Structure 1
Amino acid sequence: MPRLYLLPDKAQYKPGEEVRIRVELREPASSTLALRFCWRVCELDQIVFDGEGELLLSRQGILSGDIKLPGFADCSAFGVFAIAEIEGGESSEVYGETAFDVARHWSEAPRYGFLSDFSPGGHDDGAADFLLGRHLNVVQFYDWMYRHDKLLSDEEPFTDPLGRTVSLAAVQRKITALRERGIASFAYAAVYASLPDYAREHPEQLLYRNDGTPFSLGDYFYIMDISPGSAWTEHVTDEFRMAIDWGFDGLHLDQYGFPKRAIRKTADGDSEAVRLSELYPALIGRAREKLPEAGLIFNNVGTYPVHTTAEAAQDAIYIEVWDPVSRLRDLYSLIRRTRALSRKPIILAAYLPAFHPDRPAIPEQAEIGAIVTMATIFASGAYHLLLGENGGVLADPYYPKYGQSSAAFRERISRYYDFIVMYRELLFDPSLDDWTDAFTGGINNELRFGTAEGDVVFSTEAKTGVVWTLAKEKEDVYVIHLVNLTGLDNDTWHAPKASGPEPVEGITMTVEVIEQIEGIFAATPDGDSIVSRPLAYDWVRQDDHGLFVSFTLNRLDYWTVVYIRLRSGKPSEAFDSKAFPVHEG
Structure 2
Amino acid sequence: MLKFKKLKSLTILFFLVLVLVVYQGSSNEKVYAASPYVNNIYTDKARYNPNDKVTIYADLSNTSGISFSGALYMEITHNETSVYKASQSITLDNGQNATKSFQWTAPTTDFQGYMVKIYTGSGDYKTGAIDVSSNWTKFPRYGYIPSFDSSITQSDVTKQINTLARDYNINAFQFYDWMWRHEVPIKKSDGVNPDASWTDLFNRNISYNTIQNYINAVHNNNGKAMAYMMSYAARESYTDYGVNPSWGLFQDKSHQNQLNVNFNNGKYLWLFAPSNSSWQNYIGNAYKDVINTAGFDGIQMDQMGQRDSIYDYNGNAFNLGTSFSSLINSVKSQLQSNNSSKSYVDFNIVDGTTNGWALDDVSKNSNTDFNFSEIWWKSNNYNDIRNYVEQLRNNSNKKAAVLAAYMNYNENLGPRYEAEDASFNGVDIATNHTGFSGSGFLQNFAQQGDYVQFTVSANETMNYPLVFQYGDNSDNATRTIYIDGNKVGQVQFYPQGTWDKFVYDAYMNTTLTKGSHTIKVSYDSGDTGSINLDSLTLGEFDENSIRLADAAFEASGATHIELGAGLDDAIMLPHEYYPNTSKVMTGALKNSMKQNYKFITAYENLLFDPSISYGDQGNQYININGEKISGNGTNGSIWHMTRMTKDYDILHLINLSNETDSQWRNSTNAPIVKNNLNVKYYVPTDATISNVYLASPDLNEGTSTALSFTTGTDSVGKYLSFTVPTLNYWDMIYIKRDLTAPANNQYEAENAIKTNITTNTNHVGYTGTGFVDGFAEQGDEITMEVNVGTAGNHTLNFRYGNNTGSEATRHVFVDGSYVGILHMPNLSNWDTWGNASLNINLSAGVHTICMYYDATDSSGINLDNLTVK
TM more than 0.5: yes
Q: Distance in 2 between matches of 1:410 and 1:377?
A: 18
Mapped to 2, the partners of 1:467 and 1:33 lie a distance apart of 45
Corresponding residue number in structure 2 for 1:161: 201
- Alignment partners' CA distance in 1, 2:362 and 2:400: 13
One-letter amino acid of the counterpart of residue 98, structure 1:
G
- Aligned pair partner of 1:351 in 403, 406, 419: 406
Q: Which residue of 1 aligns with 2:118?
A: 82
> Hey, what does 2:303 align to over in structure 1?
255
Taking the aligned partners of 1:570 and 1:213, their CA distance within structure 2 comes to 62
For the structure 1 residues 121 and 30, does the alpha-carbon distance in structure 2 shift closer, same or farther, using more than 3 Å as the test? farther
1:94 paired residue number: 124
CA displacement 1:207-260 (0-9 Å, x = unmatched) = 111374121111433333234444332211100000111200011001011424
Hey, what's the Cα distance between the residues in 2 that align with 1:408 and 1:499? 14
Give distance in 2, aligned partners of 1:27 and 1:373: 37
Q: For 1:240, which of 284, 287, 298 is the aligned residue?
A: 287
Secondary structure at the residue paired with 1:100? strand
CA distance in 1, matches of 2:64, 2:262: 59
CA distance in 2, matches of 1:581, 1:230: 64
CA distance in 2 between counterparts of 1:363 and 1:52 reads 45
Instruction: Report if the CA contact (8 A) 1:193-1:221 is conserved.
Output: no
Within 5 A, what are the aligned runs for 1:395-434? Answer: 395-402=574-581, 403-434=583-614
Change (3 A) 1:71 1:546: closer
- 8 Å contact kept, 2:541–2:586: no
Residue of structure 1 equivalent to 2:185:
151
Q: What do residues 67-107 of structure 1 show as CA deviations (whole Å, max 9, x unaligned)?
A: 2101320021110011126xxxxxx5432100111112001
In structure 1, which of residues 502, 506, 527 is the aligned counterpart of residue 677 of structure 2?
506
1:278 aligns with 2:291: no
Q: Residue in 1 aligned with 2:71?
A: 36
Output the CA distance in 2 between the equivalents of 1:504 and 1:61: 39
Q: 1:98 to 1:300 in 2, by over 3 A?
A: same
C-alpha distance in 1 between matches for 2:223 and 2:695: 27
Flag the structure with more relative contact order, 1 or 2, with Cα contacts below 8 A and sequence separation at least 6.
1
Within-5 A mapping of 1:455-534:
456-513=627-684, 514-534=686-706
Moved more, 125-134 or 178-187: 125-134
Amino acid at match of 1:125: T
Scaled by the length of structure 1, the TM-score of the pair is 0.89
AA aligned to 1:223 is: W
Which of 113-122 and 351-360 deviates more?
351-360
- Shift in CA distance, 33/64, structure 1 to aligned 2, threshold 3 Å: farther
1:209 aligns with 2:251: yes
Match for residue 307 of structure 1?
360
> Residues 388 and 569 (structure 1 numbering): CA distance in 2 closer, same or farther, change over 3 Å?
same
Cα distance in 1, alignment partners of residues 70 and 573 from structure 2: 40
Query: Of the candidates 144, 149, 160, which is equivalent to residue 119 of structure 1?
Result: 149
Who is 2:176 aligned against? 142
* Aligned AA (1:124): V
Q: 1:55 to 1:162 in 2, by over 3 A?
A: farther
1:365–1:497 contact (8 Å) kept in structure 2: no
Task: Work out whether residues 505 and 555 of structure 1, in 8 Å CA contact, stay in contact via their aligned partners in 2.
Answer: yes
Name which of 440, 449, 466 aligns with 2:623.
449
Is 1:71 aligned to residue 113 of structure 2? no
Matched-pair contact (CA < 8 Å) for 2:42–2:128: yes
**Does the Cα contact within 8 Å between 1:100 and 1:422 map onto a contact in 2?**
yes
Q: Deviations over 1:273-332 (max 9, x none)?
A: 211122210100111111012110100101241211113111001110000211111111
Question: In structure 2, what residue type is equivalent to 1:275?
Answer: N
**CA separation of 1:235/1:478 partners in 2, compared to 1, >3 Å: closer, same or farther?**
same
Question: What's the counterpart of residue 140 of structure 2?
Answer: 110
The equivalent of 2:483 in structure 1 is none
Distance 1:375 1:349, change over 3 A: same
1:80 is paired with a residue whose SS is: strand
SS class of match (1:124):
helix
Greater fraction of residues in strand: 2
Q: 1:448 to 1:363 in 2, by over 3 A?
A: farther
Q: 2:211 aligns with which of 171, 174, 179?
A: 171
| Letter in structure 2 aligned against 1:156 | A
Shift of 1:388: 1.1
| Displacement of 1:50 | 0.8
1:409-467 deviation per Cα after TM superposition (whole angstroms, max 9, x unaligned):
11111111111011111111122111133xx42xx3xx22122xx2x211111021100
Aligned residues: 554
Partner of 1:182: 222
1:502: Cα distance to partner? Answer: 4.1
Deviation per CA, 1:111-134: give whole Å up to 9, x if none: 111001111142111111121121
SS at match of 2:237: helix
Q: Which moved more, 1:217-226 or 1:35-44?
A: 217-226
Residue among 391, 394, 403 paired with 2:573: 394
Give the aligned residue type for 1:385. I
Q: Cα–Cα, structure 1 residues 197 and 183, in superposed 2: closer, same or farther, change >3 Å?
A: same
CA contact (8 A) 1:508 1:552 kept: yes
The equivalent residue for 1:193 is 233
**What is the percentage of aligned positions where both structures have the same residue?**
23
Cα separation, 1, equivalents of 2:692 and 2:219: 39
In the alignment, residue 118 of structure 1 is paired with which amino acid? Answer: F
The one-letter code sitting in structure 2 at the alignment partner of 1:534 is A
Q: Which amino acid aligns with 1:509?
A: K
Matches within 5 A, 1:375-394: 375-390=551-566, 391-394=570-573
* Richer in helix (by share): 1
The answer on whether the counterparts of 1:263 and 1:271 sit within 8 Å (CA) in structure 2 is yes
Query: Structure 2 CA distance, aligned partners of 1:35 and 1:120?
Result: 48
